[in-house]
Copies of this chain bind each other. A is one copy, B any other.
C-alpha cells in the first residue's frame, strides 16, 4: 500500500539514489500518516482518525476541513465525521479565527492528557462494567449454592471459584488504569499471582504516597 523508497527492506542493498529533500519530507510524512492510521485501528478507532491526527500533528498551523480532505484524499463528509470524533476524545481541538468562517483544527500535543481521558472514559468503563457484572453473578451464585440441590450447589461453587479469578483480573486492570490516569505507581510482580486464590501475604509497598498495590484491590 505504501509506495516507499526509503522504508523498504534494507537488506537488499540496491543502490539508493539520493532523494531530493522535498521527496524525503514527503516520504517521512506518508510513512507517519500510514503508521498512525494503523495504530488507530489497533486501538479500536479507525484508520482515518489516526491519519487525521497525524496530519494535524505534523502541521505547524491549524488546518481546515478542506486542507485535510486534500492531504488525505478523502471525502469532506468522512473527514467531518471523524474530526469530530477526534475532538470528542480530546485528541484534536478547534481554533477560531477572527472574521473567518472556516473551522481550524489542531492536534492536542500533550498526548498523555488525551490518552488519560481515553483510558478514563473508554477503557475504565469497560473494566468496571465487567467487574459489576461479575459481582452480580457472584451474588446470585451464592444464593443458588444455598437454595439448590447438592448437585447444583457444587456447580455454583465451581462457577464461584472461576468468577473470582476473573474478578481479580479485571479489578487489577481497573486499578492499573486508575494509576495510569492518576499518576501512581504499579508493581506487576503481583500480577503473576492473579490466578491463585491465596490471600496476598505481605503486599509490596512502593515508595510514593500515590502508589497502590494491586493485590489489595
Contact = CB atoms under 8 A, between A and B. Distances in A.
A42 B191 CA distance: 21
Copies in the complex: 2
Interface stretch (A86-94, A96-104, A144-152): A144-152
Contacts of A95: none
Nearest to A35: B133
Interface string A66-107: 000000000000000000000000000000000000000000
A205 B208 CA distance: 10
A202 interface: no
A201 interface: no
Contacts of A188: 179-180, 182-186
A27 B111 CA distance: 42
Contact of A166 (B111, B134, B148): B111
Given A109-B195, A188-B186, A143 B24 contact: yes
A133 to B, nearest CB: 5
Contacts of A21: 144, 147-149, 152, 156
Contact of A162 (B57, B126, B130): B57
Interface size class of A (residues with CB under 8 A): 35 or more
Interface string A54-70: 00011010000000000
Interface of A: 6-7, 21-22, 24-25, 27-28, 31-32, 35, 39, 42, 44, 57-58, 60, 109-113, 116, 126, 129-130, 133-134, 136-137, 140-141, 143-144, 147-149, 152, 155-156, 158-159, 162-163, 165-166, 169, 179-180, 182-189, 191-192, 194-195, 204-208, 210-211
